[in-house]
Structure 1
Amino acid sequence: MVEEVLRSLRAACPIPPRLSPYADPVQEWLLDRLPRLGVPLDSSARERLDRAGFARYAGRLYPDATEPDLRTLAALFTWFFLVDDACDGPDRLAPEQIRALRAGALSLLRDGPRRRHPGFGGPLRRLLVDAWRVPRRRMPARWRLRFADAVADHLDGTWRESVAKDLGRRPSVAEYVQLRRATSAAYVSYPLIEFATGRPLPDPVYHHPALRRIGELGNDLLSWYNDLASLERDRATSGGHNLVLAVAGERRVPLDTAVDLIAERWRAAMDRFVALRADVPSFGPALDPAVTTHLDGVANAVRGTVDWTLESARYPTP
């Protein structure tokens, strides 16, 4: 049933699909690069990583990136997914370990690779050092701060979710929606639009209420779609941290009913997303092209997540 709902939502998505022509070559590069950074990849791990297709995910979100930039983006995406794997599941990091990882990652992003933290080392650190090298050199300080702040929010959400799981505390629907906006890493992907396109936005425009609301809805759309796809896995490992599970628990309805309710919620959010995107005010001829590029990037994040979720082996559907 979930697979049918996922496919029906993809069919209803008005955002056109896009994919970088460099996605598959970059995927091959990634599989070769990771062992050089000490990421352990035996034959089965290499196959899982290849079938997950993180470079194709980056290629769907940033279809106009150059091949070298897509390599950087794919490496960053891989870092976030490896962190997600480390912080989720039955053998997940303890909350204090996640806090140490957060502190170490932020020290690296804000102060450079010479700053070290005792809780952050090994392949995860080497991968982030390698992936951050080009954005750190090329992007302005205000952008680097914006990206680091987004990473801080994401890892803080990951920590809060871990604490709740350890306490056996299941979130309400309202609590979960807010937390999911942090744990999804969508807000991390938005600054990378500027890196990929070379069109940075001034802070007052980037944080304008109209753009912020569209970004929030885009986050919800890709997060809720992912929750549908990962429902079976999350039933065993998430401690109720999945929108379907939260709705089923709060409304006391069967999972099948909750799935239908989330699908309805997703369609309504998509209608609002399209309407708000069409109603963005003008910021003047000097800024409007960059604003359009940013909004296209947010839309690509939604549609790219939909398409990648259905093609990636990371979220097998029954």
Structure 2
Amino acid sequence: MTGGSKRFDCPIPPRLSPHADAVQEWLTDRLARVDPTLERGTLDRLHRAGFARYAGRLYPDATEADLRTLAALFTWFFLVDDHCDSRSTPEDVHALREGVLRLLRVGPASRHPGLTGRLRRILVDAWHVPRQRMPQRWRVRFSDAVAHHLSGVRREAANKAAGRLPTRAEYVPLRRATSAAYVSYALIEFATGRVLPDAVYHHPLLVRVAETANDLLSWFNDVVSLDRDRAGSGGHNLVLVTAHERAVSPEAAVALVVDEWQATMARFMELCAAVPSFGPGLDEAVAVHLAGVANSVRGTIDWSLESARYPT
């Protein structure tokens, strides 16, 4: 896996659900039925992106039925990403955030002007199973992660509107929000059926593991999406931030980012190995969760390299 003249060396083994391709076919048909206004070209683009394969790499042990739900949620988040990148003001993103949270926290019978049309229809459909099946504490955890993500998207939109390039110190925590990785970590519990107690989920070392994994998948994405981000990100890309602060070319900045990524990967492996025992009733569930966080890193790498969303 290369980035510029440097190589990403990821020791996490790749995984892929045996249901991924079948779910991808199901997903295309489902989207067309949930939202008949989707144009054929949009459906084809979503199909080529392979969001079911992305979900299948992050949740390789999910049942086929659950992978359908996960793939639909992934598609919704990418549609939100495209929507916010293309034409949304900070005020638009704020309204969208409020509408999404109203739906997640109150239910599909609630309405909010910030969430309408295609985005509402697809989210209502994708959210049905988790809302019915998962306990209240998990639904709160999931909606809080979505709130954090969309708050980050709004801050990025505000920076773009003001023509403001973030510093590295500002960008790294902002990127942890815009990546939606924390949403994907909550979905590990849906996919595995193992909901951790809050005290374990928010244990300081597990939080550091989650942050470090988030950095890994986010920075890798910044490298592979660099060409697209040069034109439309307003400088919100670690390579571009590094190039600006170090006064080097983007090509030189790629090498610096890859070196930092490699050091961060070594730290991630050390952190995972240092997670303490929480007792025989929880250790297996914690191990499953950590494996899911690791899958988020490797799965993002492998999907990014195969998906038509990031042409190489």
How far is 1:54 from its partner? 0.3
| 1:191 paired residue number | 186
| 1:156 paired residue number | 151
**Within the alignment, does 1:219 sit opposite 2:211 as a pair?**
no
How far is 1:39 from its partner? 5.8
The separation in 2 between residues aligned to 1:289 and 1:50, in whole angstroms, is: 35
The 5 Å alignment of 1:46-125 reads 46-88=43-85, 91-125=86-120
Q: Check conservation: 1:2, 1:259, Cα contact below 8 A.
A: no
Q: Check conservation: 1:79, 1:124, Cα contact below 8 A.
A: yes
Q: Compared with structure 1, are the counterparts of its residues 245 and 230 closer, same or farther at alpha carbon in structure 2 (3 Å cutoff)?
A: same
The separation in 2 between residues aligned to 1:2 and 1:263, in whole angstroms, is: 9
Q: Equivalent of 1:273, from 259, 268, 285?
A: 268
The 5 Å alignment of 1:1-318 reads 8-9=7-8, 12-38=9-35, 40-88=37-85, 91-317=86-312
The separation in 1 between residues aligned to 2:37 and 2:14, in whole angstroms, is: 33
The separation in 2 between residues aligned to 1:157 and 1:296, in whole angstroms, is: 26
**3-state SS of 1:316 partner:** coil
Q: Compared with structure 1, are the counterparts of its residues 308 and 39 closer, same or farther at alpha carbon in structure 2 (3 Å cutoff)?
A: farther
The separation in 1 between residues aligned to 2:223 and 2:114, in whole angstroms, is: 33
TM-score (norm. length: structure 1): 0.96
TM-score (norm. length: structure 2): 0.98
Q: Compared with structure 1, are the counterparts of its residues 222 and 5 closer, same or farther at alpha carbon in structure 2 (3 Å cutoff)?
A: farther
Q: 1:280-303 CA deviation, whole Å, 9 max, x = no partner?
A: 100000000000000000000000
The separation in 2 between residues aligned to 1:246 and 1:64, in whole angstroms, is: 37
Q: Compared with structure 1, are the counterparts of its residues 5 and 296 closer, same or farther at alpha carbon in structure 2 (3 Å cutoff)?
A: farther
| Count of aligned residue pairs for this structure pair | 312
Q: Check conservation: 2:3, 2:254, Cα contact below 8 A.
A: no
Q: Check conservation: 1:62, 1:193, Cα contact below 8 A.
A: yes
The separation in 1 between residues aligned to 2:109 and 2:27, in whole angstroms, is: 25
- Give ranges in structure 2 of 5+ residues lacking alignment: none
Q: Check conservation: 2:210, 2:293, Cα contact below 8 A.
A: yes
Q: Check conservation: 1:5, 1:263, Cα contact below 8 A.
A: no
Q: 1:203-261 CA deviation, whole Å, 9 max, x = no partner?
A: 00000001000000000000000000100000000111000000000110111110000
CA RMSD of aligned residues (A): 1.3
